[in-house]
Structure 1
Amino acid sequence: MIEIVDVLVVDDERINIRLIEGILKDQDINLVSASSGFEALKYLPDHDFAFALLDVMMPGMDGFELAERLRQSETSRDIPIIFITAISKEQKHVFRGYELGAVDYLFKPVEPEVLRGKANIFAELHRHKRSLVETTKRLEVTVKELEESKAALLESEQRYRMVADYNYDWESWIDPDGKLLYISPACERISGYDRASFFDDSELMQRIVHRDDLSRWMLFMTDDTVGDDESLDFRINDVNAKVKWLSLVKHSIYADDGKPLGIRFSMRDITSRKRMEGLLKHSALHDTLTGLPNRVLFLDRLSRAAGRSSLSGELFAVLFINLDRFQAVNDNYGHTVGDKLMVHIGVKLQQIVRSIDTVARFGGDEFGILIEEISRKTEIRALVKKIHESFKESVVVDGIIFTISACIGYEIASDSNIESEEIVHNAQVAMKKAKASGKNRIVPYTKSMREGIINILAVENDLKRGLEAREFEAYYQPIVNLADGSLYGFETLARWRHPERGMVSPGEFIPVAEETGLIVKLGSQILEKACVVMNRWRNKYPIARELTMAVNISAKQFDESSLASNVESILRESGLPPECLKLEITETVVMLDALKSVNQLKLLKNLGILLSIDDFGTGYSSMSYLQKFPTDQLKIDLSFVQRMESSPENIEIIRAIVNMAHSLRLRVVAEGIETERQRDLLYSLQCDYGQGYLYSRPLPEDKAEKFVRDSE
C-alpha cells in the first residue's frame, strides 16, 4: 500500500486552492491548505511535509517571506518549495525565489499534467527519504554505517533539485564552457530526438532550429546582455520535419560563492497558442465570409503601392464597388443564399484582375479593388470596364439564377503624398455619384465631387448646435447572462433627436463627429447621462445595484490625456460607484499604440471602473499585450456572431477567443445575437454574456427602466 504524504498549499484565493485539490485528488497525497503565511506556520509542528506549493503574491506575508521563515526553522528548512506565479507579472522575481531555496516554479494558469508530474516525483522522493530516516533509527550500526546513512540522506536532498528539471518543459543545462550537462526527457516528446542524440551531436540543436529563426536564436543564446526575465519565441523542425513553436527562457546559475555554474534553459511548446494567434491575426486582416482582404489590409497595401508609384512613376487606381439591390437577395432568398452569392462574386473578381492587384471586401455589399503598376490611364479604364461587364454574366446559386449589376466609382492616382484613406474616400464618393445616377453605372472621381465635403461641414455645424442644445439622448441595450437569461447590464448608445428632422441615424452623424473631433464632447455628454441614470436606477431598484453600465469610448476620447480625470469627475458628480461603470474601447484603438494604451488603461483602471475590449477579433492583439492590458472583458465583434450558423470557421474563431479570454480570467460578451441558434451556440462555447435583437433593441430611458423593473 502506498504511503500517503502531506503537502502544504498556501494561497490567499480559495478558488486556486480548490483547483489544485481537484488536480491532485487521486495522487496519494493529503493536501493541507492555508490561506496565509501565518496560518501555514501553525501547521509545521504537526506535519512532515513532502513539499510546499506557495503563491508568490499574498497580503500580509508573501510567498518569499514565508519561504525565508521556513528556511529559518530546523523542522522545515528542508521542505522543497515550489512557487506558483503569473509569468507575465512576476518573472522578475524568479531568481529571487531560487536564492531562497525554491526547487521550481509553476506558472499560472497551472497545467494539470505538469503539476501532477511534479507532485508524484516529490512525493516519491519524500517516501524514499522517510524510509532512509526510519532505517537509520532502527539499525544499531557503527559510526561508519551512520556516516553512510547521512550521505544517503544528503544524496536524497540533492536529488530534489535535479528532479526539478524533470518536468513537462524541455530543460537543459550547460556549463560555463558551453558543454551540455543535462537535458530533460521532455526533449524527446517535443523534438522527437532522444536525449543521447543531443549529447552525441553538439550541433543538433542548432540544425533543428528553423532557418528563418536561426540568427535570432543564436544571438539570444550567446548574448550576455539578455536578462533572466527575457524570452524568445522561435521555431524548430522536429524529427518528422514538423514545425513547432517553442518559448525559450534562460537562467544563469551561480554557486554560493558567486562562481558561475552555467546556464539553465527552459523551452515550452507553444505551438497551439501560436496557431490560435495566427487564426486571430488572419481574421483581423481578412473578411470572415469571403476570405478576401478586409479594409485594414487593403489600406496597408494601398499605402505600399503609393510608395512604389513615387519611385517608378507608374499609375495606380482604387475601385469602390457597390452591388445594386443586393439586399433584395437576402430578403427574398435568405442570408445563406446571399452569402454564397457574395463568395462567388469575390472569386470572380479575383479571376478578372492580375495577381499583383488586390480584391477586398469592405463589408456588406461593397468591394474594393487596388490596381497597380499601370503606365497609361486607358489601361485602367479598360480594366474597369471589363470588371463592370463581368457582372452581366448570370450566376447560379442553389439552383437559382441571379443577374447582379453594380455601380463602380474609381480614382486614378500617381501622387504618393495623398493619404490612402482619402483615395478610398474619393472612389467611394464617385461610387455614390454613380448610385445616385441609377443602377449599373461607372463614374470616375473628379474634383467637383468635393461638394460632398460641404455637406459634411453642414452636418458639423448642426452637430455643434445640437451639442450646445443637448439634443443627444442615451439609449440602452440590455446585456444578459447567457446561462440563465438574467439581466447583467446595459450598453449605452448615442441617439440624436433633431428638432426638425426627428431621429437622425447614428450612421450619419457619428462618422462626422469622429472626423471633426466633436465625438469627444458628444461622448462626454452620453457618459454623464449614463452615469446619472444608472445611479438613479440603483437607488430605486435593488437589482440595479448588481448591474453594470457600459459606455463606448471613441479613438479621439481615448487619446485625450485628461480622459481619466474627466471620468473621475463625472463619477463624483453623478454619485455612481466606479465598479458599476464599464468603458468599452475597440481592439483597433488600443492596438494603434499598445504601449501608450497600457498607460491610459492603467489610469482608468485606478479609478476602480471596469474595462472592456470592444469589437474583439477585428484588430490583432497578441497574447503578450492582452496580458498587459488591465481589462476585465472582451466583446466579440458581431460579424463573427452573425456568421456562426453558416460558417464553422467562425465558430472556431469564437471558441479560440473565449478560451483565450478565460485563460486570462476575462469575461466574454457576444454582441449582435439575433437568433436562438446563435445564443445556444455561444452558450455551448462557454461565452458568458450576450446582447442583440433576440433580447432587445436599444431602448430609450423610460423603456430601459421598465426592463430593469420587470427583471426584479
Structure 2
Amino acid sequence: MLFLDSKDAVICCLHLFIYMAQEKSISLNSHLVSVEALISEHTEKLNQAKEHLQQLTIHLDQLTHTNLQLSEDIYHCQKLDEELRLNEQALQLNQERLHSILGSIDDVVWSIVPQTSQILYLNHATETVYGRPIADFLDNLNLWQEIIYADDQQRVEESQQLLYKTGIQDIEYRILWPNDEIHWIRVRSRLIKDDQGNPIRIDGLTTEITEYKQIKDQLLHDALHDNLTGLPNRTLLMDRIEQGLKRCQRDKNRRFALLFLDLDGFKLINDSLGHLTGDQLLIILSHRFSRCLRAEDTLSRLGGDEFVILLENLSNIDEAIAIADRIHNILKEPILLQNEEIFISVSIGIVLGGEQSVYNNLDQVAELLRDADTAMYRAKAKGPGTSKVFKPSMHTHVMKRLQVANELQRAIERQEFIVYYQPIISLDSDRIDGFEALVRWQHQEKGLIAPTDFIPIAEETEAILKIDQWVLRHACTQLGLWQQQFPNLGSLTMSVNLSSKHLAHPSLIEVLDEILAETGLGGSSLKVEITESFVMEQSKTSLDILEQIKQRKIELCLDDFGTGYSSLSYLDCFSFNILKIDRSFIKRLVAEQDRCEIIKAIVDLAITLNMQVVAEGVETNVQRKRLKALNCGYGQGYGFFPPLDSQNITRLLEQQDTPIN
C-alpha cells in the first residue's frame, strides 16, 4: 500500500473529491435532465389533463344544459299530454253536445259521398221533415231523388249540376210524403274538396218550409189583393197593366182598355146604413162586375168605392164601351141589404191603350190610370150612371184646373179677392130687402175672374174654407157699416154661401161667433146658404152644427132648390127658413102663357112649411109679375140688379126710398 504524505494526500483527496464531485455533477445533471424530461412529460400530460378536464367541464355544462332542456321538454310534454287529455275529454264532450244538438234541431243535417250518395251522417229530424224513417234512406240511396215532386225534378237536377260548378246549392222545392201530402223543403249544401280539388263530401242542411211558404204566399196575396173583396189591388193592377203594354209592344194590332169605376152616392149609403153595410155592398158589386167580364180581364179595387177594370185583347174602343154598358145594365137590378132594396149606379171613365204612339211605353202606366180617372170625373159631371171615353183635351183641362188651384193659394196669401153684393128684392114692395155676398177674384194678370171659374176648384181643396171665411168676415163687416150709415134700414140682411166642408167642422161655430162679435152684427141679420148637395151628404156632425147656427138666430137658406135628387124627402129633416128656387126653373117663364106648375108647387110647398121663397135668375118683368102672382116673396137677378161692388150698393141704399120700376 502506497502511502502518501499529507500534502499529497490532501491534494489527492481534493482531486478525488473533485472527481467524485464531477462524477456526481455529471450524474446529477443527468438526473436533472431526466427529472426535467420527466417534469416536461408530466407537465405535458398535466396540460393534456387540464385540457381534457376543461373539455369534460364543457361537456358537463352541455350535459347539464341538455339535462335542463330535457327536463323542460319532459315538463312540456307532460303538460301537452295533460292538455291533450283534457282536449280529448272536451272533444268528446263537444261531440256529445253536437250530436245532441243535431239530434234535437228541426232541420235535417246530412253528409254524403258525391260519387255514390253513400250517407256519412243523417240526424233524426229526417223522420219529421221527410215523413220517413232514416232506415228508408239507408236502404235506398236514390230515395232523395224519387220523392221530389214531379214538376220540380228538372229544376232540382239543374241545381245539383250547378253545385259541382259553384260549390254551393240553395234551393226550395216540393217533396211527396208516403201519404201523398205535398211538403216544401229548402236544401242548402256545400261541396267539400281535398287538396287536389277532388270532391270528397257534400254537407247539407234541409229545412221544412211548408208553413213558411203558406204564410209567405198569404202575405204576398195580401200585399197584392184588397182585403175586403179579395180583388187585385193597385200594385197588382199596375203590374198587369205593364204586362199588357209589353204584349202590345210585341203585337202591334193588340189593344187593351182601362175602365175606371166610381160609385154614385156611395157615401150616402155608407152614412145612412153604416160602414158594415157599405162593405157588404162593395163585395156584392165586385161579384156583379165580375159577371160582366171575360176570363182574361182583371177587376181590381183601388180603395173606397173605386174599381178599375183592365180589358185585354181588344180590337177597338167599342168593345170597352160595350162592357161599360153591360155594367150599367146589371146595376139596374136592385140589391137587397138589411131588408131594403138599394139602387146604385156607377160613373165610368174609359181609356184605350196600346195604340201607336199612345200609351205604348212602360213608363206610361200611371198616365193610363190618371187619364181613366179624368174621364170618370167627366162622366160623373154628366150625371150618375154614365160613361165617358178619355180625350187628350180632358187632360189639358185638368192641368188648367191644377194651375188655377196653385194660383188660388197665392191669391189667398195676397188677398186678391173682392166681394160683390147682389140685392134681394121684395116682390111686394119692390125694395131691397138684403144682399147675397158673391166673391170675385181680382187676378193680377187675368183681371176679374167669375166664381164659376174658380169656386169648383177651390171646393176640391182646403182653399174654399179660407175663401169662405174671408167673404163671411168682409160681408158682415160691410153690412154692419151699412146698418150704421142707414139706421132706418136696420132690417137689411146678408146671405153668405158656405161650402159643405165648413159644416163638417165644429170650428165653424167659433168662427161665426168671432165674426159677429167683431162686427157687432146680430145673428138675425145673417143668412147662411147651403146647397142640396150638402143635404144629400148630411151627417150627425153637420146636423149638430146647423142646430147651433139656428140657436144664434142665423137663418138657413136651401140654395138651388130642385137640382138635387131627394130634396122633398129632406125638407122635413132640416129647419130651413128660406128656399131659393134654382134659375133653371125661372128661365122657362118667358111669356105670359108659359106653364109654371112646378114653380107654383114649390112656392106652395114652402108656404106650407112656413118658409120664405126667393127666385134666382129673375131677368124680365114678365118673370117678376108671374112670380109675384104665384105668391113668391122675393126675387134676385139681373132683372133687378147685377152683383155690384160696395160703393155702388151704397148709392143704391141712398135711393132706397125710390121704388124699383
More helix by share: 2
TM-score (norm 2): 0.46
TM-score (norm 1): 0.42
Look at both structures and tell me which one has the larger radius of gyration over its CA atoms. 2
